[in-house]
Amino acid sequence: DAGVIQSPRHEVTEMGQEVTLRCKPISGHDYLFWYRQTMMRGLELLIYFNNNVPIDDSGMPEDRFSAKMPNASFSTLKIQPSEPRDSAVYFCASSYTGGNTEAFFGQGTRLTVV
């Protein structure tokens, strides 16, 4: 298995633009997590899904952020409009509750909003 795949790896965008981050979880995994990492705040859980259904989105910072999981093999995190304070590394992770629940992370998307 190729692991969790995120795209793009790097994104530079101007303030006010829409940004879409993509994630393909490991096949067969039933949980998907979106995290944001900054030096100041560390790894913050934004939202997570179980069997494609959002379970907890209390970590989503504001209405500018939205996430979807239309099927078991794809999820998106969208920021519209983007702001400079959204600059961070965004990680997607997936896990399988039938196993040891280890979360496998993608390589992350480094977002810079200028």
User: Interface with another protein by CB under 8 A: which residues?
Assistant: 31, 33, 35, 41-43, 45, 48, 50, 55-56, 91, 93, 95, 97, 100-103, 105-108
DSSP character for 27?
T
14 neighbors 67 (Cβ within 8 angstroms): no
Closer Cβ to another protein, 74 or 105, answer by number? 105
114 vs 106: CA distance, rounded Å: 24
Least Å distance, CB 73 to another protein, is 19
76 vs 70: CA distance, rounded Å: 9
Least Å distance, CB 103 to another protein, is 6
